[in-house]
Amino acid sequence: MSEEFRIVALVGKYQSADVAEALSRMAGFLQGRGLEVWLEAETAQSVGHAGPVRVASFDEIGEGADLVIVMGGDGTMLTAARTLAGHTLPLIGVNQGRLGFLTDVPHDEMLIRVGEILDGLYLRERRSLLEVELWREGACVHSGMALNDIVLSRGEIGRMIEFELHVDGEYIYSQRSDGMIIATPTGSTAYALSANGPILHPRLAGIVLVPLCPHALTYRPLALAQDSAVELVILGSRDAVVHCDGQTLFEAREGDRLRVVRSLQGVTLLHPEGYSYFAVLREKLHWSALPHLS
> Which of 73, 64, 63 is CA-nearest to residue 11?
73
209: confidence class by pLDDT, cuts 50, 70, 90: very high
Position 109, amino acid: E
74 catalytic? Reply is yes
Statement to judge: residues 23 and 55 lie in one domain: yes
pLDDT in tens, 14-66: 766 778 889 999 999 999 999 999 999 999 988 866 568 899 999 999 999 99
In terms of Cβ atoms closer than 10 Å to its own Cβ (0-12, 13-18, 19+), residue 208 is: buried
User: Is residue 135 located within the same domain as residue 258?
Assistant: yes
Lowest-pLDDT choice from 64-68, 103-107, 140-144, 253-257 = 103-107
| 194 & 243 share domain | yes
Same domain, 110 and 182: no
Q: From its phi and psi, is residue 8 left (phi > 0), alpha (psi between -120 and 50) or beta?
A: beta
Within this chain, do residues 112 and 196 fall inside the same structural domain, yes or no? no
Contact 111, 102 (CB under 8 A): no
Tell whether 78 is covered by a domain.
yes
Instruction: For residue 104, give the CATH number of its domain.
Output: 3.40.50.10330
pLDDT of residue 116 exceeding 70, the answer is: yes
Q: What gap in Å lies between CA 56 and CA 43, rounded to an integer? A: 10
Residue 205 has pLDDT above 80, yes or no: yes
pLDDT tens, residue by residue, 141-162: 999 999 999 999 987 777 899 9
What range does the domain containing 54 cover? Answer: 7-120
Average pLDDT, the chain: 92
pLDDT of residue 49: 63
Is the same domain home to 133 and 253? yes
Separation between Cα atoms, residue 79 and residue 101, nearest integer Å? 14
Same domain, 144 and 216: yes
Q: Where does a domain end: 120, 155, 190?
A: 120
Give start and end residues of each alpha helix (H) in the chain: 17-32, 41-47, 58-64, 74-83, 110-118, 191-194, 277-284
> Does 181 share its domain with 247?
yes
Question: What predicted TM-score, i.e. pTM, was given to this entire model?
Answer: 0.92
Note whether 139 and 237 are same-domain residues.
yes
Residues 6+ apart with CB under 8 A from 288: 282
Q: Given this model, what pLDDT does residue 237 score?
A: 79
User: Could you tell me if 135 and 253 lie in one domain?
Assistant: yes
The counts of H helices and E strands in the chain are 7, 18
* CATH code assigned at 164: 2.60.200.30
Q: What is the pLDDT of residue 50?
A: 58
With respect to residue 186, please indicate whether it lies within any of the assigned structural domains. Answer: yes
Closest C-alpha to 79, from 44, 46, 42: 42
Give the Cα-Cα-Cα angle 223, 224, 229 (nearest 5 degrees).
140
Same domain? 18 vs 87: yes
Q: Which of 74, 104, 245, 256 is catalytic?
A: 74
